[in-house]
Amino acid sequence: MPLDPAFAGRVYPPTDPYEVEREKIREFALAIGEGHPAHHDPRAARALGHRDLVAPPTFLSVLMQRATDPVVLDPEIGLDYSRVVHRDQRFVFGRPVCAGDVLRLVVHIDGVRSLAGSDVLELRAEAEDVTGGRVATIHMSLVARAA
């Protein structure tokens, strides 16, 4: 059954706070093959003007995956996750993510549409620190392939 376009505009509650830890940044950087010293050595990051290790830009995909679970598992939406493929993702930064940040994401469904018989779910997450300061906006689209 196709996804209902009426779900566009739905906003999910903020995620639990996520503390960005140095070791998580290092692990992520190693996993993606990012060897820049600012991701591994706090002194190198500070020399570039950051207060601590700086996360690679795609680090927020880890938080986005967790933040979108309530959307893709929402029984009201009825998304067949076994048919879902990741279509697109992009990041718009207000500032870099650094070790010590405590972040929350608020996920919005920006659009639901049909494309060649498949459903496309357009999601946006606003990443903020615990003071409410904007860190980034993450855009992601998922396709639920037609049966």
Is residue 124 within 8 A of residue 89, CB to CB? The reply is no
Pick from 93, 85, 4: which is nearest to 56 by CA? 93
Question: Looking at the predicted structure, is the pLDDT value of residue 74 above 80?
Answer: yes
Rounded to 5 degrees, what are φ and ψ at 91? -125, 135
- Residue 114 to residues 2, 62, 82, 100, Cα–Cα distance (Å): 8, 27, 18, 41
User: For 80-125, how does the pLDDT look when each residue is reduced to its tens digit (9 = 90+)?
Assistant: 888 999 999 999 999 999 999 999 999 999 999 988 889 999 999 9
pTM for the structure as a whole: 0.91
pLDDT at position 93: 97
The per-residue pLDDT for range 128-145, each reduced to its tens digit, is: 999 999 999 999 999 999
Neighbours of 34 (CB within 10 A): 18
Per the CB < 8 A criterion, the answer to whether 92 and 8 are in contact is no
Tell me if 113 sits within 8 A of 120, measured CB to CB.
Answer: yes
Amino acid letter at 20?
Answer: V
List the Cα angle 78/81/122 in 5-degree steps. Answer: 75
